[in-house]
Amino acid sequence: MRGFPDGFLWGVSTSAFQIEGATREGGRGVSVWDTFCATPGKIHTGENADVACDHYHRYAEDIALMSELGVGGYRFSVAWPRVQPSGSGPVNAEGLGFYDSLVDALCEAGIRPVVTLYHWDTPQDLEDAGGWLSRDTAYRFAEYAAIVGERLADRVEHWIPLNEPVVETLYGYALGEYAPGKALLFDAMPAAHFQNLAHGLAVSALRSVNAKSIGSANNHSPIWPATQSAADLEAAEHLGAVANWMYTDPMLLGRYPEQVIQYLPDDFADDLTAIAAPLDFYGVNYYEPQGCAAPGEGNPLPFELRAIEGYPLTTNGSPVVPDGLREFLGQLRTRYEDKLPPIYITESGCSFDGVHDKERIQYLQDHLAALGQALDEGSDVRGYFVWSLLDNFEWSKGYQPRFGLVHVDYCTLARTPKDSFYWYRDLLGGAR
Ligand code: IFM
């Protein structure tokens, strides 16, 4: 495999709700995902994340695994309802203390903490007050960012305000498949704008407490039109604006793509300067391209989603298309030129079963080869984080898809490193 630059940060990623468990301990408040899991029919398997991987109690064991793996960085998220149980007002000292101890233990192990402040677990009280459809949530988020930043920025270098706002807007507010379960179609789009605003305000809040390096973690897919017809190309442009550029353009250029302006709150323009607060890095979560075609007769939407065919599928149904990573990084270079900060691949991974997971090894090998090509073509990529360290709670699919380098037995909570864990360890050993 191609060599990666000196100082390249190799890591693993997780998120609070997917691994922590202990949802009713340590003064944690209720999140929208607790409520969603408790609503019959929302999680396909009927499961919840009350225990998950029990990382809240077993984080020392998980850090020992990361030490054995040899990663330089660990990207995890802070659960807002652990720190501020109702999303505003008093801080829960025990909750903030948990992350303080986690960061200390990581630093002691020589692993750089990469903190995501929000990975979809909105405090339920804030959702009841309007959630991401309310501008106020962005202001509450900035306060929360300052609280966490103030406590941890002396030891945490890398900060990411929000994870994948596109996924929450789409699945949580437009389609109702994720918490908070609203199915508003295009009326969900203000949620994207207020998450963008929350991002920008949090960047400034983090700067004010001397956070060193601040970025993002947006989920991106190259959009593949079904044909080269003018109608399919136009549909793909529209979907690209909604799925990708609606987040990157305001963050990096201080404007929205013209296709999405019709969906935004009337006063959106007042927020653009705040959203475009300068970033130190741009985080890309890459899983797959998205197919698209012009809408068929009677479809009022501006595009139709199409499955990508002709590629192997993960157990989660995602097509495996490593070159899509190289392709998207090229699109970022072309679109943003010198406005594009250095990039980190903040998530990349796949669901496959079993501890002898040769498919995952192949997947990682192929994605790293594609990443190497992107570097050769001129992308400035500074790190790669495998999703995920552990098998974990995959949202509305429950525990069925297994994304971990480490297998988790959900009855005993025993951790067993998979073959891919040893493969990654050997790769990192060679990279050191
Ligand atoms: O598990 C998710 C994660 O929470 C966000 N990015 C995609 C992963 C795999 O689906």
Which residue is catalytic, options 47, 347, 359, 394?
Answer: 347
Residue pair 352/360 in contact by the 8 Å Cβ criterion:
yes
121 lines ligand 1 (CB under 6 A): no
CA dihedral 243, 244, 246, 248 (to 10 degrees): 160
Q: How far apart are CA 137 and CA 142, in angstroms?
A: 9
Q: Whose CA is nearest to atom 1 of ligand 1?
A: 394
Q: What angle do CA 230, 232, 234 make, to 5 degrees?
A: 65
Q: What is the pLDDT of residue 3?
A: 85
Which residue is catalytic, options 47, 164, 168, 288?
Answer: 164
Q: Whose CA is nearest to atom 5 of ligand 1?
A: 164
Q: What is the pLDDT of residue 100?
A: 98
Distance 394 CA to ligand 1 centre (A): 7
- In which residue ranges of the chain is pLDDT below 70? 431-432
Q: How far apart are CA 31 and CA 34, in angstroms?
A: 5
Q: How far apart are CA 246 and CA 165, in angstroms?
A: 10
Q: How far apart are CA 319 and CA 322, in angstroms?
A: 9
Angle at which helix 55-69 crosses helix 419-431, to 10 degrees, equals: 50
Q: What is the pLDDT of residue 5?
A: 94
Give the fold, CATH level 3, of 9-431: TIM Barrel (3.20.20)
Q: What is the pLDDT of residue 430?
A: 76
Distance 49 CA to ligand 1 centre (A): 15
Assign 3-class secondary structure to the chain.
CCCCCCCCEEEEECCHHHHCCCCCCCCCCCEHHHHHHCCCCCCCCCCCCCCCCCHHHHHHHHHHHHHHHCCCEEEEECCHHHHCCCCCCCCCHHHHHHHHHHHHHHHHCCCEEEEEEECCCCEHHHHHCCHHHCHHHHHHHHHHHHHHHHHHCCCCCEEEEEECHHHHHHHHHHCCCCCCCCCCHHHHHHHHHHHHHHHHHHHHHHHHCCCCEECCEEEECCEEECCCCHHHHHHHHHHHHHHHHHHHHHHHHCCCCHHHHHHCCCCHHHHHHHHCCCCCCEEEEECCCEEEECCCCCCCCCCEEECCCCCCECCCCCECCCHHHHHHHHHHHHHHHHHCCCEEEEEECCCCCCCCCHHHHHHHHHHHHHHHHHHHHCCCEEEEEEECCECCCCHHHCCCCCCCCEEECCCCCCEEECHHHHHHHHHHHHHC
168 lines ligand 1 (CB under 6 A): no
Distance 187 CA to ligand 1 centre (A): 24
Structure token digits, residue 224: 């593949």
- Which atom of ligand 1 sits closest to the CA of residue 13? 3
Structure token digits, residue 297: 């007769």
Residue 47: active-site member: no
Instruction: Quote the pTM value.
Output: 0.98
Q: How confident is the model over 237-278, as pLDDT tens digits?
A: 999 999 999 999 999 999 999 999 999 999 999 999 999 999
Q: How confident is the model over 32-49, as pLDDT tens digits?
A: 999 999 999 999 999 999
347 lines ligand 1 (CB under 6 A): yes
164 lines ligand 1 (CB under 6 A): yes
Structure token digits, residue 243: 């799925």
Q: What is the pLDDT of residue 23?
A: 98
Q: What is the pLDDT of residue 99?
A: 99
Residue 347: active-site member: yes
Q: What is the pLDDT of residue 146?
A: 98
Q: What angle do CA 372, 377, 378 make, to 5 degrees?
A: 100
Residue pair 148/102 in contact by the 8 Å Cβ criterion:
no
Q: How far apart are CA 262 and CA 102, in angstroms?
A: 43
Q: How far apart are CA 362 and CA 374, in angstroms?
A: 18
